[in-house]
Amino acid sequence: GQQLNQSPQSMFIQEGEDVSMNCTSSSIFNTWLWYKQDPGEGPVLLIALYKAGELTSNGRLTAQFGITRKDSFLNISASIPSDVGIYFCAGPFYSGGSNYKLTFGKGTLLTVNP
C-alpha cells in the first residue's frame, strides 16, 4: 500500500538545539515536500525537492532528497520557540492514469523549550 513513514513522532528539545526528522516511502518519488503546521492553521510549504540527491536550504532549514528516491530528511539548526509545530513530509503516490495523490506522513510534533 501507499505508505509514508515519518519519524520521530514527537520531539521535545531545548532552544538552540538542532533537530533532525526523516521520512521513508514504500514507493519511489519524483518530488519530496516538507510542510509545517502551526496550531489552528493549515500546513505551509517549507521546502520542495525535485531531484535525487538534492540538498536544499531555507534559512535554518535543510532538506535532502535521498539518493534511492524513497527517503528524505529535514534538519532544523539552532531551534527557536517559533519552530514549534507539526512537520509533515509529503510525496506523490501514483493513483492511475495521469493522476497522483499527494500523500502525507503522520507528522513530527516539535516542542521547543525556551
Partner 1 sequence: KAGVTQTPRYLIKTRGQQVTLSCSPISGHRSVSWYQQTPGQGLQFLFEYFSETQRNKGNFPGRFSGRQFSNSRSEMNVSTLELGDSALYLCASSGITGANVLTFGAGSRLTVL
Contact set with partner 1 (CB under 8 A):
31, 33, 35, 40-45, 48, 88, 91-93, 95, 98-107
| CA angle in degrees (0–180, nearest 5) for 24-28-34 | 50
> Smallest distance from the beta carbon of 7 to partner 1, in angstroms?
13
Quick one: residue 99, left, alpha or beta (phi over 0 = left, psi -120 to 50 = alpha)?
A: beta
> Smallest distance from the beta carbon of 65 to partner 1, in angstroms?
15
Nearer to partner 1, 33 or 76 (CB): 33
Backbone phi, then psi, for 92, in 5-degree steps? Answer: -90, 115
> Smallest distance from the beta carbon of 16 to partner 1, in angstroms?
29
